[in-house]
Every structure is written in C-alpha cells, then in structure tokens.
Amino acid sequence: MLAIEAYYAPQFEADVRAAYATLTATMLRIGRDSAGRAVLPEPDVVSQLMLLAAARCGADVAAAVKREKRGLVVRSLTASGLDITPTVALRSAQRLLGRGIDSRATLGAFGTPGRTAANKSLITAADLAALEQEVVVQLATLSDEMDAAKYGIAKAWRSSPERLAILADWAQQRRAGT
C-alpha cells in the first residue's frame, strides 16, 4: 500500500462550511431587504428561491468533493515513484474517477521539461493496474470520511442559531401577514 493517507485536507471542511454559509446568507436575503425590513415573498416563491439556493449549495459541496478526489489521485500517482507521464495520469484519473481532470493538474505534477512523445513511459499495464487498485481503496476511504464530514456539517447547519432565527423570522412575518 502507498504511504499516502486517504484523508481530506482542512480546506474541504472549510469549503463545505462556506457553501452552507452562502445558503444561510441567501435565506437571510429572502426574508429581508437591504435595509433590514421584512419582505418575505409568497410561500411558492420562497420554495423556488430555496430550491435554487440548495442546488447552489449542493453544487459547491460537490465541487469540493471533486477537488479532494482529484488531489488524492494526483498525490497517490506522484508518490508511487513510477514513471508516470501526464497522459498516463489523465487516463488513470479517468478510470479511477469516471471523469477526466484538468490537464494542467497532471502537467504540473507529471510533466518533464524536454520530454517528448518519443520518450514513452516504461510503466507496464500490470504496474498501473496494481497502483490503481490501491488508489481505489484510498478513494473509498476518502469518500467515507468526506461523507461523514458533510453529514456533520449539514446536521450542525440544520440546528444552527442563524438558520433557526431566520426560520423564526419567516414564521413571524407569515403570522403578521407581511
């Protein structure tokens, strides 16, 4: 097994928390104008706005997950000590992640100045397959850890004083007929 630990960077949690902070800020803007006056729209409009805000939050969280997975693949391939070219890394990432990654990430990590297509990597398919199997295990562990972090952050957000205060404000506005 490679020496790379399957863990997410602290930036992952910061990115997920930022996505929920944006969702909270959007909720606040739905019920108040820039001067702080109550302006809660009709319930169907609130629902539409909340769906859009939740979708944006989900997209931001998904982007953080993709960044972490890409980072793990690049770190693992780099740490392997094998002669991996940018093209080999791109194809390996495609197999491991089910999607391509930015070629700049692989070029920066695996590019060798002056190397041409004539200087092929001597890595064998068997070596690469064995490495990819190790990375698959690391990706599964990483996914489990990120899922736990996402769940914990979402749970904390659902019971956060800020969110609860916004919901209470909305309820008060509805009762007052504002």
Say if residues 38 and 174 touch (Cβ distance below 8 Å): no
pTM of the model: 0.86
**Structural domain spans, the chain:** 10-176
Q: What is the spatial distance between Cα 76 and Cα 113, in angstroms, rounded to a whole number?
A: 21
Name which of 56-65, 109-118, 150-159 the model is least confident about: 109-118
Tens-digit pLDDT profile for residues 66-78: 999 999 999 999 9
100-123 mean pLDDT: 82
Q: CB-based contacts of 56: which residues, under 8 Å, 6+ apart?
A: 19, 22, 23, 26
What pLDDT, on the 0 to 100 scale, is given for residue 3? Answer: 46
Q: Which residue has the higher pLDDT, 61 or 8?
A: 61
